[in-house]
Structure 1
C-alpha cells in the first residue's frame, strides 16, 4: 500500500463489525449456557472430553471462539488497506497474532473446563468493542454517541484482571486441570494488563494532560 491511495472500505467494514457483534453474542450465549447447564465451578472445573451433548456444545463454542480470532485478523488488513498506520501499534499486532495461537492451543488440548471463562468474558467484551467499531465506521456524525470509548478500554483491562484472578485461584487449587495452561494464561494476562494499562495512560491520561496545557 506504500504507493497506493487508501481504499474506502465503508461498505465492507460496517457489516463486518456488526457481523462480529452477532457472532460474539452467539459465542457468549453458547459458552454461558453450556457452562450453566453443566454446573461448572469457577474455582475448579476439569475439562470433559466425552462426546456427550453438553461437552460437545462447549467444544463447538470453543471452536467458534478460535475461528473468530482468525476472522478478526481482517482488522489488520483493513487498517493497512485504509493506510491507518497509527492504529497498527505493537499492542494491536501482539494481541491479534498471539490470540490466534493461544486459542488454537486451548481448543486442541483443553476444549472446555475452566478455559470457558476466558472465552466467555472475551466474547462479551467483543460484543461491546465491535459495536463501537461498527458505529464509528458509519461516519463522523456518530462521534457524539461514542463518548464511552474510555470505558471500553477500562472494560478490557478489567477483563484481563478477572481472567488473571480466576486462573490464579485455579492454579492454587487441587484441580485436575493442566497447570501448564494456567501458567500460560497467567503470563499472557499479565502482559496484556501491562500493555493495555500503558495504552490507557497514553490515550486518556497523558493526552488529556497535554490538552489542558
Structure 2
C-alpha cells in the first residue's frame, strides 16, 4: 500500500515537473531533475525504513497528508482566513470551542495516564534511558497507540489558530504560535514514524500535562471571561517555560548515557528546538507580564 502511494505521488509529481521544466534551459532542467529524483529517493526511503507497526495508522503511511494539511493550514490562517473575515463579524463559535477544549483535555489526560501506566510506573525504568520497545506485547502496542494519539492531538492543535481567525483574533496569530504548532507537528510525525516511543516520551508526557492545564483554563475563560485577566494567568506561561527546562535537562542526561540504545541523534535534533522554543516563550513572557520599572522624574 505504502509503495503504491509513493509511486502514484511521485509519478504525478514527475509529470508536473516534466511539463514545467520543458521550457527551461538545460542547466535549470538538470537542477530540477536532480531535485525531483532526490525527493523521490527520500519518499522511498521513508516508505521502506519507518516502523512497520505504525505505518498502517491514519496519516502515518506517507508524509504527504501532513504536508498538505500544513500547507492548507498556513494558507488559511495567514491569507485566506483573514481575507474571508475582513468584512465579517467574528463568528459566534463559543460552544464549538468549548467542546474542542474538553476534547483536548480528555486526550491529554489520557496520554498522561497511559505514560505512567506504560512507562513511568513499570519496573526497570531509568531516567537516562528509555529504549524503544519493539516487542509484540500489550505494553508495546499500548505505547504505539499512545504516541499516535499524541501525534493526532498535534493535528487537532491547528484548530487553535483557525478559531482565532474565525473569531477575528488575528493579533493572537503570532510567529510563536504558528511556529510552535507547525514544528511540533512535523517533529511528532517524523519521530513517531521512525522511532515510536523511547526516551522522547518524557517530552510528550510533560507536554500533555501542560495541555490539560492550558485547555482547562481556555474552557474556563469562555464560561467566565473575567478569567482572561486573572492574576494567575502568567503561571501558565511559566509552566510552559518549566516544561522546556525539564525536557532540556533530560535531554542532556540522555546524551551522556553510555549504555542506551535509544538513538542519540533524536535527542540532538530535539534539544535545539527545545531551546529555541524556550527563548520564544521567554520573550513572550517578558513582553506580556514583565512590567517596566517606574522611572524617576
Query: TM-score if structure 2 supplies the norm length?
Result: 0.67
The answer (yes or no) to whether the contact 1:59–1:112 under 8 Å persists in 2 is yes
Structure-2 residue corresponding to 1:97: 182
CA–CA distance in 1 between the matches of 2:122 and 2:222? 38
Structure-1 residue corresponding to 2:129: 44
1:148 aligned to which of 232, 235, 252 = 232
Structure-2 residue corresponding to 1:190: 275
The aligned length equals 209
Structure-1 residue corresponding to 2:31: none
Which structure's relative contact order is higher, taking Cα pairs within 8 Å and 6+ residues apart? 1
Query: Secondary structure of the equivalent of 1:209?
Result: coil
Structure-2 residue corresponding to 1:17: 101
Structure-2 residue corresponding to 1:209: 292
Q: CA deviation at 1:18?
A: 1.7
Structure-1 residue corresponding to 2:263: 178
Structure-2 residue corresponding to 1:137: 222
2:116 aligned to which of 23, 26, 32 = 32
Which shows bigger deviation, 90-99 or 135-144? 135-144
Structure-2 residue corresponding to 1:77: 162
Q: CA deviation at 1:38?
A: 5.5
Matched, 1:168 2:240: no
The answer (yes or no) to whether the contact 1:27–1:61 under 8 Å persists in 2 is yes
Q: 1:105-152 CA deviation, whole Å, 9 max, x = no partner?
A: 1211111111110111100000000011111122424447x4321111
CA–CA distance in 2 between the matches of 1:76 and 1:125? 18
In structure 2, runs of 5+ residues without a counterpart are 1-84
Query: TM-score if structure 1 supplies the norm length?
Result: 0.93
Q: CA deviation at 1:11?
A: 1.2
The answer (yes or no) to whether the contact 1:73–1:96 under 8 Å persists in 2 is yes
Structure-1 residue corresponding to 2:10: none
In structure 1, runs of 5+ residues without a counterpart are none
